Amino acid sequence: MDKKPCNSSQDVEVRKGPWTMEEDLILINYIANHGEGVWNSLARSAGLKRTGKSCRLRWLNYLRPDVRRGNITPEEQLLIMELHAKWGNRWSKIAKHLPGRTDNEIKNYWRTRIQKHIKQAENFTGGGQSSDQTSCTNNVSSCHPADHAVESYSPNTSFNGNLETTFQGPFPTESNDNIWSMEDLWSMQLLNGD
DNA sequence: AATAATAACAACCGCTGTGTC
DNA sequence: GGACACAGCGGTTGTTATTAT
């Protein structure tokens, strides 16, 4: 893929970095009216100076109305750990079993929290065995990270506390030019759309 | 109060698989 | 059968927010 630049027909500069509210609205509106699919041409037709790839990612991970963000429940934590123990880093596969969750979110969640927590747990249980056991997260067949994790995931641990403090909700509520809620976006879309 | 360190999240990049011509 | 275009996946990096010193 990407064997040659997608903008071969026209020399449009490609925007990168965080999406603006305007871009989000354009994308939402366009998909609401035309549906998903053929992301490269979608990006062009919608007038977005983004790659199709970028549009797809933004839509799937953030703008889609059925995306649930934050507040990963203990049940979901357990499920993630179980599935990861079973399949390893097959994030999209795991995400399919967590309705509303994206592979990106699960991946980030795993890397930033679960993995770290497992490491800590291992350090406590026996620092010496780390040569083999630190690879536990990768070595899914020989051990069960979930087992480590579950024991350290009891609601009394700081881990759960972190969750609560971390996930105050999808978006901060203080006023900020670039902060808005998905509900806002969708209501705007409804106003703009048909 | 200022600064440094850390955590959490969003987005990009490169690669692979699949479909179409 | 080969070349190309696209979708999707997983790894990685950059940015922002939060916490500790």
CA dist A105 → A22, A71, A77, A96, A173 (Å): 23, 11, 12, 12, 21
Q: Are A100 and A67 in contact (CB under 8 A)?
A: yes
pLDDT at A76: 85
Chain B positions under 7 Å from a protein CB?
7-17
Please give the CATH topology (third level) of the domain spanning A1-65. Answer: Arc Repressor Mutant, subunit A (1.10.10)
**Cβ atoms of residues A149 and A81 within 8 Å:** yes
User: What is the gyration radius of the CA atoms in chain A, in angstroms?
Assistant: 20
pLDDT of residue A186: 59
Token pair belonging to A49? 């100076």
pLDDT band at A174 (very low <50, low <70, confident <90, very high): very low
Q: Which nucleotides of C are covered by protein (CB under 7 A)?
A: 4-12, 15-19
Residue A137: predicted pLDDT:
37
Domain ranges of chain A: 1-65, 74-166
On the question of pLDDT at A171 being above 50, the answer is no
Task: Say what the pLDDT of residue A126 is.
Answer: 52
* Per-residue pLDDT at A125: 59
Q: Measure A90 CA to B7 C1' (Å).
A: 24
> pLDDT by residue (tens digit) across A10-59?
456 788 888 988 888 999 888 888 888 788 888 888 888 898 889 988 99
